[in-house]
Amino acid sequence: MSHVTVLILPGWQGSGPDHWQMRWAQQHGYTVVEQDDWLRPRRGDWLARLDEVVIDTPGDGADIVLAAHSLGCIQVAAWAAVSRHTARVRGALLVAPGDVERTDLREQMPGWAPIARQRLPFAATLVGSRNDPYCSHERARALAGDWGARWVDLGAAGHINADSALGDWPQGHALLQELVNPLAG
């Protein structure tokens, strides 16, 4: 089996050092896809940056797994709808998607609506929360269905970020590992 590269896709404003994404990057050597502007995310720039990183990642098969949070989930869906490089991706862990079609978020992040709703061309698991302030439980579950993603209900876990007190979030990392090595289970 070829080496798998995990790309971390933070959401709007990035992920701080206590966020599970940054903990995973530090502990496991995963690559964080950096953006030029975390505060004013421009969809085209974010999609181009992800495409650039995927193209530049060494390998020749489906040897990339994405670990996305919030706006990063919306980025994955939008990127998958337009990129010619989706065959490089083995799977995606999508955590707490931000509902950029909501009026308050649409105003803060113009250009991200509508959300790309096509089935993803790779395996995906979407983890949602029953009390996420940025996306209702029902909406997250509907996105999982649209994207063809396995649905995981984390219960009342807020936005599934550093404020959720998940620490290293071993349950989430186990879900990621199922995508990294789907035959191990």
- At residue 173, what is the residue type? H
pLDDT in tens, 56-92: 999 888 899 999 999 999 999 999 999 999 999 999 9
pLDDT in tens, 131-182: 999 999 999 999 999 999 999 999 999 999 999 999 999 999 999 999 999 8
pTM: 0.96
Quote the CA–CA distance of 70 and 157 in Å, as a whole number.
14
Q: For 93, phi and psi rounded to 5 degrees?
A: -95, 115
Strands (E), 16-149: 31-32, 64-69, 89-95, 123-128
Answer yes or no: are the C-beta atoms of 134 and 158 closer than 8 Å. Answer: no
